[in-house]
Structure formats: structure tokens, C-alpha cells
Chains A and B, each alone.
Chain A
Amino acid sequence: KAGVTQTPRYLIKTRGQQVTLSCSPISGHRSVSWYQQTPGQGLQFLFEYFSETQRNKGNFPGRFSGRQFSNSRSEMNVSTLELGDSALYLCASSLGGRGATLADTQYFGPGTRLTVL
């Protein structure tokens, strides 16, 4: 079974631009979560989508948004990029069951490395 895939793997943008990152979950997984990884802040939760609905959201400004499609693929968008948005953005998928079950185990993709100049 193919793992989580993310595209593109690397991106270079300039301040003020916007960017869209894509994530394809493991087949059969309905939940997609996004995380930001930086040397200073570590791994931080951005948001989670399940059945095309945002189910959970972290503490990030409104410039960070996402969506999920009917095939469970997800995109995240960052508008008006700032230097501090430079990070590795990780996507994770899970079956998306309710409660603390094994179905909630999240499997990560390789990430998209975003550099903002």
C-alpha cells in the first residue's frame, strides 16, 4: 500500500506571496492532519480534516488554511508569506475513527520544505 505523498517536496517563495501544498493520504484513510516543523518551535499542529470538514485547528493565524476533497486528498494554503513561515510542512493521515483507538494512528509523509526569502 502506498504511503502518504506530499507535493512539491521543495518550494522557494518570496515574502508576500502565497503557496499551496498538497497531500495524498494512504488509501482508505479519511483523516488528514497538517503540522509545521521548525528548529525553534518544533512540531506544531496546524489543523485536521475528516470527511471534507475541518475537525480540529491549532493556534495559527488565519493566513494558514486548508481543505479536503471528496477523495480525502488535502491541500493547505499559506497567504501573504512571512520569513517565519519557512519550515518543513508535514502531512499525516489516519483512518479517522472516533475515540482513542488504533485507527487514530497517524502516518506521515516526507514533508514539503518551504523557504521564504
Chain B
Amino acid sequence: GDSVTQMEGPVTLSEEAFLTINCTYTATGYPSLFWYVQYPGEGLQLLLKATKADDKGSNKGFEATYRKETTSFHLEKGSVQVSDSAVYFCAFLSGSRLTFGEGTQLTVNP
């Protein structure tokens, strides 16, 4: 069935380190792909999105490229900050339903 598999957390990095969070999906067709971020005690914020193969979504220094051949949408950032500490969710949209990965907790230490 439809599913999203994310890199297991938690992930702990030092400030200015490079970040990669892996995400692969199993879905029918070519759905729109998303990364959402959740800060403690808050709802989900849209971080970036891509709607077709080879699209690159980007926002606040984060990037992810829609790879149809590997059904992946890995999240990257070149230099993380303490303020990036949060839980990151990969998701795809099928019809009107978002299917989420289990989330990856990121902690960035100064």
C-alpha cells in the first residue's frame, strides 16, 4: 500500500553542519511531494514542495528534489542552525489525502 519511509531519528548535529534526511515513498502514479516541519507545541508548517519529477523545492536554505526513478525526496541543508531544531515530516498527496512518514527529530547544538 501507499507509504512513506523516512530516515530514522533522532538526528543530532552541530551548528553549521550539513543535513540530509532521507525519504522514499510508495505510491500509485506521481504524487505531489512535501516536507513539513513541526516545532514543539505547534502544528505543521509547510517547508517545501515539488509537484513533478525533477522539480526542486527550496525554502529557508532547505532543498529537496523529486526523483521519480528512485521514488525519493531527500531533504538537505548546507548549514543548519540551532533554530532548525524540530521534527521534519515527508509526505505525498494522493487525491486529497496526505500520507506522512514517521517524522525525524532534528536537534542542532551550538
Answer yes or no: are A and B bound together in one complex.
yes
Report which A residues bind B (CB closer than 8 A): 4, 6, 31, 33, 35, 42-43, 45, 48, 50, 55-56, 58, 90, 92, 94, 96, 100-102, 104-111
Q: Which residue of A is nearest B95, CB measured?
A: A56
Closest 5 CB pairs of A and B: A43-B100, A108-B44, A108-B43, A48-B96, A110-B43
Chain B residues in 8 Å Cβ range of A6? 43
A110 touches B98 (CB 8 A): no
What's the nearest-Cβ distance from chain B to residue A95, in Å?
11
Chain B interface (Cβ < 8 Å from any Cβ of A):
30-32, 34, 36, 42-46, 49, 51, 89, 91, 93, 95-103
- A sample of 9 more A-B contacts (CB under 8 A), given A43-B91, A101-B51, is A35-B98, A42-B100, A45-B97, A48-B96, A90-B44, A100-B30, A105-B46, A110-B42, A111-B42
Q: Which applies to chain B's interface (DSSP): helix, strand, loop or mixed?
A: strand
CA distance A58 to B98 in the complex (A): 11
Q: Which residues on the A side are within 8 Å of B36 (C-beta)?
A: 108
Expressed in whole angstroms, the minimum distance between the Cβ of A73 and any Cβ of chain B is 17
Once the chains bind, are B44 and A45 in contact (CB under 8 Å)? Answer: no
CA A111 to CA B91, docked complex, whole Å: 18
Taking CB atoms, residues of chain B closer than 8 Å to A55 are 96
Bound CA–CA A4/B44 (angstroms): 11
- CB of B43 within 8 A of CB of A90, answer yes
- The complex places the Cα of A107 from the Cα of B32 at a distance, in Å, of 14
B97/A33 in contact, CB under 8 A: yes
Query: Would you give the shortest CB distance from A55 to chain B, in whole angstroms?
Result: 6
Compute how far the CA of A110 lies from the CA of B95 in the bound complex, rounded to whole angstroms. 23
Chain B's nearest CB lies how many Å from the CB of A108? 4
Rounded to whole angstroms, the CA-CA distance of A56 and B95 in the bound complex is 8
Contacting pair A107 B46 (CB below 8 A)? yes
A6 to B89, CA, bound (A): 21
Contacts of B34 in A (CB 8 A): 105
